[in-house]
Amino acid sequence: MASAEEFVEFAEVMFPRLRRTAFLLCGDWHTAEDLAQTALAKMFVAWREIRRQDGVHAYANRTLVNTYLAHRRLKRTGEVLTGWFPDRPAAAAAPETRMVVLDALATLPPRARAVVVLRYWADLSVEQVADVLDCSAGNVKSLSARALHRLRAVLDEALAEPGPPSRPPLAQHHPGSGRDG
Amino acid sequence: MDETALRKLLEGALTSEPPIGPVGDKVLRAGVRLRRRRRATLAAISALAAATVTAVALAAAASGRPAAIAPVRPTTVVPHQFSPFVAYAAFGWLPAGYKLLEGGTTRGSTYQVAGRPSLSPRPWYLLAYPAGGCQLTKARGLMCKAYYPFGPLALTSRAPDISGHRAYWATAYAHLPSEPVLAWQYAPGSWAVLELGKTKPLDTHWRQVAVKAASHVRFGVHAAPPVAFPLRLTGLPASWHLISGVRAWMPYWNGVTYQPYGQVLYASHWSVSTGSASTGPRARPFLTFTIGLAGQPGSCRVGAQGPPVHEVVNGYRVIVTRGPFGQTLCAANAGGLCVQIEERSNRPGADLARVDVVGLFAHHLQLLGTSPAHWATQPIR
């Protein structure tokens, strides 16, 4: 079963990166692990076809983002966005900055958030992001511009002020309000 | 905040990453589970779709309307000539009160008649032709060479497809009162015709009934039980043979007529040629055998060949007529069978077999009784 062994090898290499991408998308390590695992399981089902293609990594990103978007749709009715993270042990370095960034990302609609993560963390080009999200490059650019504008507004304000981070307004990321591109 | 700063911020947000446990086996197991679940889902969807199609077809059939989704039968290879011992087409569904009355086979066509026992309204005739037996004409007609010699059917409009094959509403016999007909191609190059026994155009209800009946017609050598012969001719010259021509009914019926008897079909009317001529319509001279069964009215039609003579042959009472135009023998009850042997000619003394029907009945006729288990598949041995 060479293809299974090959897939396991691919999953071992790919999983950490996929989990980090998923974390930036969803803001929760447990959910991120589930998303990454689900994306890889989906890839396993079609592995015989995927392994012959050149863009296996792009396929993985696309599967992960689609899994995340589907997860968001499924969770939307039952999810309550509080804007606050539950209590957890303090991270070693710059916990405030990390939480501010995650809070800021949480203000973005899912697809805009995916654009930011894929463009500025996964270092995909506009065309590659458009391919992952199955939309036009222009759509990616507009989503990116709007997302950056919002992130700047939130992050500049939060990082400029000392003390507790500001809380994003709930109304802007209430379930159902994030219809974009 | 520029893009570089944003990249750093995103990188910094990952500082709380927990350790990663074993990944490969866990992901592999999840993948196998997902694949199994998808296959089961696909199988369930397929089964559900099949069940839905069946349910829709059954529901439509139960409601008396033609099935919206008629099952498409696999295309069969239709022979260019039928066997005279096989009913190649058979009704599979009939309106309430209708039943199979009679059928017939030749090499060139096969038919079944169904209707009410009272014969009112007029019965339906189902005819099927072998491959190449019918051709569409340029004048929107369907010409079947074994059909009545009344010209082609006139196709008037398209009918709903019958079991996936094209069908037409038609009228028969241009010079006779228009009789509505449903004609359809039951296999490539092979046609069937359902004459609907009415002289007025069909209303919507009867059109739906006709389409339903046509869609349930069975075709093939196993469409109906083989035709069985309650008597058999033995010890005759090799030149004697069953007549089964290509052309039916006209100028005379030259095939095997059968009737239903329980779950079987028995040959009730057939002809034997005494010569070595062809098996076509000119296969004369010939003798015709008409058989009835016990329990059915057993009476003899005495022909006009000459004065009737009552005799006892092999213990059976028979009536014999002889004359210049032929001879007849009738036994009203010969071991539970009503047997009539007839020979006719249009000219005195011509085209006669010169066979004594009493000698034939006495020495060459093997009566096989009324039990289908003892009947023969061939009438001449």
* Residue A90 DSSP one-character state: P
- Comparing CA positions, the residue from B75, B127, B135 lying closest to residue B105 is B127
Which of A45, A120, A121 has its CB closest to that of B35? A45
Instruction: Return the pLDDT at A80.
Output: 44
Q: Nearest chain A Cα to B19, which residue?
A: A16
Q: Give me the phi and psi of B181, to 5 degrees please.
A: -140, 145
A164 preceded by a cis bond (ω within 30 of 0): no
- What pLDDT, in 10s, does the model give residues B253-286? 578 889 999 889 999 988 888 775 555 555 566 7
Count the residues in chain A: 181
Q: What's the fold here for domain B227-374?
A: Protein Transport Mog1p; Chain A (3.40.1000)
CA–CA distance, B154 with B139 (Å, rounded to integer): 8
- What pLDDT, in 10s, does the model give residues A12-24? 888 888 999 999 9
How many C-beta atoms surround the C-beta of residue B180 within 10 A?
21
Asked if pLDDT for residue B247 goes beyond 60, the answer is no
Query: Which two three-digit tokens encode residue A73?
Result: 């749709």
CA–CA distance, B226 with A9 (Å, rounded to integer): 67
Give the DSSP H/E element, type plus range, for residue A41: helix A29-45
Which of B15, B20, B35 has its CB closest to that of A15? B20
Contact call for residues B82 and B89 (beta carbons, < 8 A): no
Q: What's the fold here for domain A86-181?
A: Arc Repressor Mutant, subunit A (1.10.10)
Residue of A6, A43, A45 for testing the chain B interface, max B β-carbons within 10 Å: A45
CA–CA distance, B125 with B193 (Å, rounded to integer): 8
Place of tokens 């992952």: A132
Number of A:B CB contacts under 8 A? Answer: 97
B281 in helix, strand or coil?
coil
Predicted TM-score (pTM) of the model is: 0.54
CB contact under 8 A, A23 and B14: yes
| Mean pLDDT score of chain B | 81
Contact call for residues A152 and A101 (beta carbons, < 8 A): no
CB contact under 8 A, B30 and A38: yes
How many C-beta atoms surround the C-beta of residue B226 within 10 A?
15
**Residue numbers in A near B2 (CB within 8 A):** none
Q: Nearest chain B Cα to A153, which residue?
A: B1
Q: What are the sequence ranges of the domains in chain B?
A: 89-219, 227-374
Asked if pLDDT for residue B91 goes beyond 90, the answer is yes
Instruction: Return the pLDDT at B356.
Output: 87
B251 preceded by a cis bond (ω within 30 of 0): yes
Q: What are the sequence ranges of the domains in chain A?
A: 1-79, 86-181
Asked if pLDDT for residue B312 goes beyond 90, the answer is yes
Residue of B1, B4, B9 for testing the chain A interface, max A β-carbons within 10 Å: B9
Asked if pLDDT for residue B76 goes beyond 70, the answer is no
Burial class (CB in 10 A: 0-12, 13-18, 19+), B301: exposed
- What pLDDT, in 10s, does the model give residues B56-66? 666 655 554 44
Q: Which residues pair with A21 in a beta bridge?
A: none
Centroid of chain to Cα A15: 14
CB contact under 8 A, A12 and B25: no
Q: What's the fold here for domain A1-79?
A: Rna Polymerase Sigma Factor; Chain: A (1.10.1740)
Query: Which two three-digit tokens encode residue A74?
Result: 């499924």
For B310-342, the three-class secondary structure string (H helix, E strand, C coil) is: EEEECCEEEEEEEECCEEEEEEEEECCEEEEEE
